[in-house]
């Protein structure tokens, strides 16, 4: 009997433990991607970008003499139907660690096992399974540096080669057509604009890694904070769909480190932040929905408000902040330093709840990752584990002087600041909804809040906070 391979965020062939295990069974294999309610619930940009990934992966699977079957509906029901249609012996998949996926996968596993069918989950989405990294007392880590120390010398296991072929079943079950899923339907902003900035699939991801290690890793540590430079790997986009395995990146980074590349260890440290985010999400799933530290529940954040709307539109009048929000809108990604600055500005200068920002990032990012996004927002807001103290408020103007000294980043994304705006700055006006009424020839807006006043208001709220330590 064949085996069903249920692909989700593991859309690659190389270093894929589930795929290697499945091939080793000698069975015929039926690769499947299911558009289920959990997947449909992801933000507009991530859902659109997922479609590009599935399309690319289907072609790679076809190159192995196999097919990627597409089905839509609740995963448990779809898998039951496929088992009935194909007489499959069971299902294999790669594990995910967010609460919705864990609930879904747990129910699927229990139902399959109750029927005596194969139900096997495998690692691969993170370097180290979240429950295998334990403190001396047997608990989980809340602070990054000891987490890093606990894993940095750990054996990650050798990366697995891609399979040469996948044995096809005698008959193929029917498949949906990808274009009928309309995964880009909520991508109101110009998908064509954003598409130019994507590097889709396993081959593109490997090329990114190779380019980064050949050209950028040496001065990564110093250059990574300057948003106008091409100094980071941009692999977050590929990691989130599993187009490349973190272990493959880990080994490549280790090799560079041992060969003496200056920035390699720092790069590995950043990669492990992603694992730390999943570690936190696994052990404290509320990190995505509520203040991680409960004593923050009475902090007077504002809910959504007109200032936050100006923030979303990249119209706060604070150039570094607006450049970053427009970068996200045009490219689907945002530089890490810029993410910290816009998050600080929203939660402090605009005194707005981090969830408002987290939701906007989830709508706009093509590298949206539920764990890193939640950890990032709570870290900046001050409500998270190992967080920056609330009273440490980034000043976006001095951050701009420091990290964008010649204004290149701001000019690249803000048309109003330049007499001859470049393509990215103009693309923003093509991408935004007409209802926003934006005009590249209009005057750049005045600041929505005076920086000193915004800072004072945030500090006053912090001082008045009730129950916050």
Q: Report whether 364 contacts 188 (CB < 8 A).
A: no
Candidates 17-25, 29-37, 336-344, 422-430: pick the segment binding ligand FAD (CB under 6 A). Answer: 336-344
Interaction of residue 208 with ligand FAD, rule CB under 6 A:
no
- Which DSSP category does 132 fall into? G
> Is 364 near ligand FAD (CB under 6 A)?
no
How many binding residues for ligand FAD (CB under 6 A)?
27
Of 56 and 327, CB closest to ligand FAD: 327
Closest CB to ligand FAD among 29 and 200? 200
Q: Is 386 in the site for ligand FAD (CB under 6 A)?
A: no
Instruction: Work out whether 340 is an interface residue with ligand FAD (CB under 6 A).
Output: yes
Strand partners, 122: 94
If DSSP codes are grouped into helix, strand and coil, which group holds residue 71?
strand
10 is in an annotated binding site: no
Task: Choose one: 35-43, 109-117, 371-379, 403-411; the region binding ligand FAD (CB under 6 A).
Answer: 371-379
Determine, following the binding rule CB under 6 A, whether residue 380 of this chain makes contact with ligand FAD.
yes
Our finding on whether 346 is near ligand FAD (CB under 6 A) is no
94 in contact with ligand FAD (CB under 6 A): no
Q: Both tokens of residue 218?
A: 């040496």
Establish whether 428 is an annotated binding residue.
no
What are the distances in angstroms from CA 419 to CA 135, 313, 314, 329, 425? 56, 21, 19, 22, 11
Taking CB under 6 A as the criterion, the residue among 6, 33, 361, 409 binding ligand FAD is: 361
Q: How many residues does the chain have?
A: 469
Starting at the earlier edge strand, list the strands of the sheet with 3-7: 69-72, 29-35, 3-7, 90-94, 118-122
Sign of the CA dihedral with 369 first, then 371, 372, and 373 last: positive
Reduced to 3 states (helix: H, G, I; strand: E, B; else coil), residue 439 is: coil
Q: Is 352 in the site for ligand FAD (CB under 6 A)?
A: no
CB of 267 to ligand FAD, least distance (A): 6
Cβ(25)–Cβ(31) below 8 Å: no
| List 377, 413, 428, 429, residue binding ligand FAD (CB under 6 A) | 377
Asked if 140 is part of the footprint of ligand FAD (rule: CB under 6 A), the reply reads no
- Asked if residue 343 binds ligand FAD (CB under 6 A), the reply is yes
**Exactly one of 316, 372, 395, 399 binds ligand FAD (CB under 6 A); which one?**
372
Verify binding: residue 336, ligand FAD, rule CB under 6 A.
Answer: yes
Rounded to an integer, what distance in angstroms lies between the CA atom of residue 365 and that of residue 369? 9
Is 412 labelled a binding residue? no
DSSP code at position 47: H
**Position 236 contacts ligand FAD (CB under 6 A):** yes
If one asks whether residue 339 binds ligand FAD (CB under 6 A), the answer comes out as yes
Tokens of 57: 């992966």
Stretch that binds ligand FAD, among 22-30, 177-185, 230-238, 292-300 (CB under 6 A): 230-238
Shortest spacing between CB 268 and ligand FAD, in angstroms: 9
Residue 387's contacts (CB-CB under 8 Å, 6 or more residues apart) are 292, 293, 378, 379, 380, 381
- What the block records as the tokens of 50 is 């997922």
Local structure of 33: helix, strand or coil: strand
If one asks whether residue 363 binds ligand FAD (CB under 6 A), the answer comes out as no
Residue pair 19/29 in contact by the 8 Å Cβ criterion: no
Residue (151 or 343) nearer to ligand FAD, CB:
343
Q: Return the H-helix or E-strand segment holding 206.
A: helix 202-211
User: How far is residue 321's CA from residue 41's CA, in Å, rounded to a whole number?
Assistant: 28
Per the listing, tokens 């790997």 go with 233
Beta bridge partners of 34: 71
- Asked whether residue 367 is marked as a ligand-binding residue, the answer is yes
Sequence-distant (6+) residues with CB within 8 A of 405 are none
Q: Provide the mask over 247-286, with x wherever binding to ligand FAD is found by CB under 6 A and - wherever it is not.
A: -----------------------xx-xx--x---------
Q: Which residues are annotated as a binding site for FAD?
A: 220, 232-236, 267, 367-369
Residues that bind ligand FAD (CB under 6 A): 224, 232-236, 239-240, 270-271, 273-274, 277, 336, 339-340, 343, 361, 365, 367-369, 372-373, 376-377, 380
Q: Which residues are annotated as a binding site?
A: 220, 232-236, 267, 367-369
């Amino acid at each position: 009997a064949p085996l069903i391979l249920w692909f989700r965020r593991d859309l690659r062939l190389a270093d894929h433990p589930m795929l290697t295990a499945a091939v080793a069974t000698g069975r015929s294999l039926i690769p499947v991607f299911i558009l289920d309610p959990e997947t449909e619930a992801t933000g507009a940009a991530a859902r659109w970008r997922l479609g590009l990934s599935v399309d690319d992966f289907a072609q790679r699977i076809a190159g192995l003499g196999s097919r990627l079957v597409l089905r839509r509906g609740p995963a448990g029901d779809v898998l039951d139907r496929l088992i009935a249609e194909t007489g499959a012996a069971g299902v294999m998949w790669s594990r995910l660690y967010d609460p919705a996926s864990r609930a879904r996968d747990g129910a699927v596993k229990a139902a399959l096992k109750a029927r005596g069918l194969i139900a096997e989950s495998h690692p691969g989405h993170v370097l180290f399974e979240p429950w295998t990294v334990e403190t001396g007392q047997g608990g989980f880590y809340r602070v990054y540096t000891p987490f890093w120390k606990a894993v940095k010398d750990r054996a990650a296991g050798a990366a697995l080669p891609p399979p040469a072929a996948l044995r096809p079943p005698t008959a193929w079950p029917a498949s949906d057509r990808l274009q009928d899923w309309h995964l880009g339907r909520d991508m109101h902003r110009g998908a064509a604009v954003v598409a130019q900035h994507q590097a889709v699939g396993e081959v593109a991801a490997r090329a990114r890694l190779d380019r980064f290690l050949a050209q950028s890793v040496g001065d990564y540590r110093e250059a990574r904070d300057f948003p106008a430079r091409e100094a980071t790997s941009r692999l977050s986009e590929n990691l989130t769909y599993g187009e490349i395995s973190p272990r493959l990146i880990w080994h490549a980074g280790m090799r560079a480190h041992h060969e003496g590349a200056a920035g390699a260890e720092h790069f590995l440290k950043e990669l492990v932040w992603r694992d730390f985010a999943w570690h936190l999400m696994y052990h404290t799933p509320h990190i995505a929905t509520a203040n991680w530290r409960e004593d923050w529940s009475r902090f007077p954040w504002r809910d959504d408000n007109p200032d936050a709307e100006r923030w979303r539109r990249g119209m706060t009048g604070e150039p570094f902040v607006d450049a970053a929000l427009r970068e996200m809108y045009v490219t689907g990604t945002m530089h890490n330093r810029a993410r910290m600055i816009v998050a600080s500005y929203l939660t402090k200068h605009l005194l707005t709840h981090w969830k408002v920002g987290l939701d906007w990032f989830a709508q706009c990012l093509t590298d949206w990752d539920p764990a890193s996004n939640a950890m990032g927002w709570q870290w900046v807001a001050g409500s998270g584990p190992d967080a920056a103290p609330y009273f440490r408020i980034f000043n976006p103007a001095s951050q701009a002087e420091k990290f964008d000294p010649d204004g290149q980043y701001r000019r690249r994304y803000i048309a109003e600041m330049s007499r001859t705006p470049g393509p990215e700055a103009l693309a923003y006006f093509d991408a935004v909804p007409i209802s926003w009424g934006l005009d590249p020839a209009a005057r750049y807006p005045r600041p929505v809040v005076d920086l000193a006043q915004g800072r004072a208001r945030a500090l006053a709220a912090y001082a008045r906070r009730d129950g916050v330590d």
